[in-house]
Amino acid sequence: MRLGFLIQTDTLERQTIQLIRALTNNNHAVFIIINDDKDRQEAFYNFSTSRLIHIEQDLPYANIGDLSLSYFYLHMMKKGIEQYRIDYFISLDPRMVPLKNDEEMISFFEKYYPQNFYIIDKEKPDPKRINRYYPFTNFKSFSTNAFVQNYSKATAFILNTLGIRRRLNFEVLQGLPYFAISNEGAKLLIQDIRFITDYFKLSWFCEKTGLITLFDKHLKDTQNDTQIFDFKDNNTLDNSSKDNILFGGIYSEKEAKLAINKYKKES
């Protein structure tokens, strides 16, 4: 079984490079998009000899907060199925790490295949936030610049006052953009990629609402009660003892290095 890891990052840090090498050494694939032009070109040069590392070049960037990150995930699923024969697609923050060895991870996914894992919040999203159009979410600085975010909110309020708003006839869910989707599930999502653009253009952090809603629309073989990610405890040793927790973070470089070395040694 081959896993495909989807990673978005603004710059390519040393711990992310260590993570990529550890995963590909076990014959898994890594699909990464790097927003910084210099880091992207450097990564493309350094990893050009590895058939298991895909440095995305067609999409200009993937930004937290707008449609581009959701697009990146879905397009990489398509590429992974067509070119890499991936069995599961797993999204990771660049500062996350595997907490189980490779044999344990593969055994887990073989046991549950083709079920899918993603996180849905119990609390429903605010309808006002969902229905409003938020300009400027496609700015590269949107996810980190408070001024741009506030300006986007103010403009959305004005548009809403003028009656310019989204009108949806289905329930919108929210969650976290960390998931493990089987290739069977990915095929269903790829066929409906227009769902994101048709209903969630200029939405507020689409990957937390539109993408999760798309998952819930198509993925019936789902294990939402079995959580494979843990963000509550930053102690990798404590997390690694939990049965179903496969990935954890977000960790410092020192913590990540220890966990990655442990994964490499035991895999």
Cα distance between residue 52 and residue 24, in whole Å: 6
User: Which ranges constitute the DSSP H helices of the chain?
Assistant: 14-24, 37-46, 67-79, 102-112, 127-131, 146-161, 183-191, 194-200, 206-218, 236-240, 253-266
Rounded to 10°, the helix 183-191/206-218 angle is 110
SS3 176: strand
pLDDT given at position 140: 75
Note whether 210 and 170 are within 8 A (CB).
no
Gap between the Cα atoms of 213 and 118, Å rounded: 11
Contact (Cβ atoms closer than 8 angstroms) between residue 109 and residue 180: yes
In tens digits, the chain (267 residues) has pLDDT values of 999 999 999 999 999 999 999 999 999 999 999 999 999 999 999 898 999 999 998 887 888 788 889 999 999 999 999 999 999 999 999 999 999 999 999 999 999 999 999 989 988 999 999 999 999 887 878 877 889 999 999 999 999 999 999 999 999 999 999 999 999 999 999 999 999 999 999 998 899 999 999 999 999 877 767 789 987 655 555 555 567 899 988 888 888 899 999 999 998
pLDDT of residue 236: 53
Query: What pLDDT score was predicted for residue 235?
Result: 56
Domain limits, the chain: 3-122+174-266
Q: Which residues contact 76 (CB under 8 A, 6 or more apart)?
A: 4, 6, 31, 54, 56, 89
Give the Cα separation of 210 and 239 in Å (integer).
30
pTM of the full structure? 0.92
- For residue 201, count CB atoms less than 10 angstroms from its CB and return exposed for 0-12, middle for 13-18, buried for 19 or more: middle
CB 213 within 8 A of CB 173: yes
- Compute the distance between CA of residue 262 and CA of residue 90 in angstroms, rounded to an integer: 20
- The fold for domain 3-122+174-266 equals Spore Coat Polysaccharide Biosynthesis Protein SpsA; Chain A (3.90.550)
User: Hey, is 85 helix, strand or coil?
Assistant: coil
